[in-house]
Amino acid sequence: MTYDFSAHSKEYERTIGKSHKYFIQVKCSELLKMLARYGLTPERVLDLGCGTGEAEQILCKYFGNITGIDLSEGMISEAKKKGLVNCEFRQANATKLPFTGEHFDLVFSFSLFHHIAKNQLEQSINEAVRVTRKSAIILVFEHNPRNPITKLVVERSPIDKGIILLNASSIEELYRKSNVEILEKRYIVFLPRLMSFLRPLEGLLHKVPYGGQYCVAGRVT
């Protein structure tokens, strides 16, 4: 049985705990660093699978507008309660986005795609491409199945019960099918939260394929 995000939306953040919040912070930091490397300053941003809006709490001050979508009505309700400036939250399916073409300057997702049915993954990427303007960036962050600790945590998590993790090459293949130019693949989160003081050293390991998470960056052509 898959996790009912709406039924558990009120206690979701408490259930997933402090380590999850730390990983959100790390991914937000990596996202901002990548944009800086590419010299990009997106104005309109789309978050696929925004959950309760934890990423938006961090990122809202960096962008003109962030739209977060999530399939769960309960999660969207919790996100709206945060009252975040420059943020809009809408219930929507990543396979059929309710936006016009070439609307966003950046689309990103934090650990969404392993929750999408395998036969809907390509459609989800196609939709992300459709709503993203030409030459803009798509960033997909996912759990890395090559990391044994990540696999163990996911197997024990009620949120991820029954899911199959996607490796980075799977995301790259989805990009290629959607004519997305692959810019880079980075592995992140090599250290636990208690060793976060050493996180600046992780930048030296981004090509080592055993980080707890990875990100694949692509440009819409």
Assess contact for 142 and 108: CB atoms under 8 A: no
What is the C-alpha to C-alpha distance for residues 5 and 160, in angstroms, rounded to an integer? 11
pTM, two decimal places: 0.91
52 token code pair: 């309760």
210 token code pair: 């055993």
What is the C-alpha to C-alpha distance for residues 54 and 123, in angstroms, rounded to an integer? 26
What is the C-alpha to C-alpha distance for residues 108 and 46, in angstroms, rounded to an integer? 6
What class, spelled out in words, does domain 9-220 have in CATH? alpha beta
- Written as tens digits, the pLDDT of the chain (221 aa) is 454 555 555 565 555 655 778 889 999 999 999 999 999 999 999 999 999 999 999 999 999 999 999 999 999 999 999 999 999 999 999 999 999 999 999 999 999 999 999 999 999 999 999 999 999 999 999 999 999 999 988 888 888 888 899 999 999 999 999 999 999 999 999 887 767 666 777 888 999 999 999 999 999 99
Assess contact for 184 and 203: CB atoms under 8 A: no
What is the C-alpha to C-alpha distance for residues 183 and 172, in angstroms, rounded to an integer? 10
